[in-house]
A = this chain, B = another copy of it.
Amino acid sequence: MPRYESADKNYIVMKLKNGYNVGIKISNIQTINKIGNHIGEDTTSVQSLDNTIKGERHKYEYGNEVSKVALISTGGTIASKVDYRTGGVTAALSAAEIYASVPELSKVASLDPEVLLNEYSENLKPEHWSMIANKVSEKVKSGIYRGIVISHGTDTMHYTASALSFALQNLPIPVVLVGAQRSSDRPSSDAALNLLGATVFATKSEFSGVFIAMHADSSDDLIACHIGTRVRKNHTSKRGAFQSIDVMPVALVNGDSVNMQLQRPALRLQNRTNNTARFVAKPNFDKRAVLLKYHPGFDPTLISHVRLAGYKIIVLEGTGLGHVGRESFQEIQKAIVSGTMVFMTSQCIWGEVRMTVYDTGRDLLEIGVIPLSDMLPETAIAKAMWVIANSSTVEDRKKLMQQNIANEMSNHVPYP
């Protein structure tokens, strides 16, 4: 294999037949025998992605009696390959290339691919959420799609899923974000199976709304489909990194069958419909919101900085049931008095904020901090940016933040 820029010069790397690479220390090599010539394809071609789908391979014709699904590409690992110059992964494949590389897709849906962005998701900003929302809105309003799949980098895919959950209301069809933890030319890539699972769910889900579809675990069988506001990237590298928080995944996809999971009655899931009349897009976001994570030794001047910088909303990631140390009370109160709203989430991730249990919580309620039940901090910051853009008074914003719009508060516990 070509040597990566940063690779140890005392090793050579060989690609094995199973697709994995192995490094051999040069000083340990006793003899080198030439056993033949390399016959094969360019390892960076899209063909290699195809190899990751197990089992018999067939040729399918596109566009038979299958549903139409829009595929919007925004970038990320699902659309990337390894760069042998640096050993790193760079964005590469277009939506059309992805489509061509997973022939099984054509049995499931007639895909209509479009490249909207080519960014790793750590570079996506609220402006991009608006772009994506507008594009989805256009596709939904056309009325010709059974579902929409969005390929997306995994780093902030759950933030985007939350943002779209608020921006796209009363969706008639499923909008399914999908990514990959391993690039498509690696033998352990999850790109093909995730895309296939997302497309199957987009065509067969009985519910509409915004979802994320990713490997359920490290096995190559199950794709889990999560509610867009209730999911988190909980591992840096595992294929089963995305997990539903405080709820079950909505569905597990195995091959081309979709198994809807029993949900708690408190969850509100909308049935899909052919009627696009009720669909409303509110695609604007306002960045004047900030997420601050509390920790021992937290500096209250961070809050004054945010207040003076003209922010409209602070989302605190407090400890436990929704606490911060009393040293920060004064600055929080100042922020609230001067019109910067302060909301509380928990860094525990699982469970809900309950601020009436302890003195600390009650004192914070007294000051005017508003608890957000079991809303995830990542969901809360996306919602805050949406709320600022879609309402103008403090009272309206308070009401909207506490209103359960897209299952972001799975327990429906309203603020007293």
Are B155 and A327 touching (Cβ within 8 A)?
A: no
Question: Could you mark each residue 203-239 of chain A with 1 if its beta carbon is under 8 Å from any beta carbon of chain B, else 0?
Answer: 0000000000000000000000000000001111110
Contact (Cβ within 8 A) B88 A296: no
- Rounded to whole angstroms, the CA-CA distance of A325 and B327 in the bound complex is 31
Separation of A272 and B188 alpha carbons in the complex (Å) = 42
A306 contact set on B, CB distance < 8 A: 302
- A333 sits at the interface (CB 8 A): no
- Residue on B nearest A128 in the bound complex, by CB: B296
In the complex, whether A86 has a CB less than 8 A from a CB of chain B is yes
Q: Is A341 an interface residue (CB 8 A)?
A: no
| Given contact pairs A357-B88, A357-B89, A309 touches B320 in the complex (Cβ within 8 A) | no
Copies of chain A in the complex: 2
A378 contacts B295, C-beta separation under 8 Å: yes
Docked-complex contact A236 and B296, CB < 8 angstroms: no
| B234 close to A348 (CB less than 8 A) | yes
Establish whether residues B233 and A88, one from each chain, have CB atoms under 8 Å apart when the complex forms. Answer: no
Q: Which among A287, A299, A382 has the highest number of chain B CB atoms within 10 Å?
A: A299
Q: Are A321 and B236 in contact (CB under 8 A)?
A: yes
- A25 within 8 Å of B by Cβ? no
Given contacts A88-B356, A236-B351, A359-B120, contact A385 B346 (CB under 8 A): no
A125 part of interface (Cβ distance < 8 Å): yes
Say whether A354 faces chain B, with CB atoms less than 8 Å apart: yes
Chain B residue with the shortest CB-CB distance to A80: B358
Report whether A296 and B126 are in contact in the complex, using a CB–CB cutoff of 8 Å.
yes
Interface membership of chain A positions 332-348, coded 1 if the CB is closer than 8 angstroms to chain B and 0 otherwise: 00000000000000101
Contacts of A349 in B (CB 8 A): 234-235, 349
Residue A124 contacts which of B6, B124, B296 (CB distance < 8 angstroms)? B296
> When chains A and B are docked, how far (Å) is the Cα of A90 from the Cα of B306?
32
Residues in chain B near residue A155, CB distance under 8 A: 319-320, 323
| Closest beta carbon of chain B to A243's beta carbon, Å | 10
Interface string of A375-410 (1 = CB under 8 A from B): 001100110010000000000000000000000000
A122 to B, closest residue via Cβ: B323
**Would you call A360 and B234 a contact (CB within 8 A)?**
no
Q: How far is the CA of A352 from the CA of B235 in the complex (A)?
A: 8
- B residues less than 8 Å from A317 (CB atoms): 293
- Kindly state whether residue A297 has any CB partner on chain B within 8 Å: yes
- Please tell me if A415 contacts chain B, counting CB pairs below 8 Å: no
Binding site for B on A (CB under 8 A): 6, 86-90, 120-126, 128-129, 154-156, 159-160, 163, 233-238, 241, 285, 287, 289-299, 301-302, 305-306, 309, 317-327, 346, 348-354, 356-362, 377-378, 381-382, 385, 416
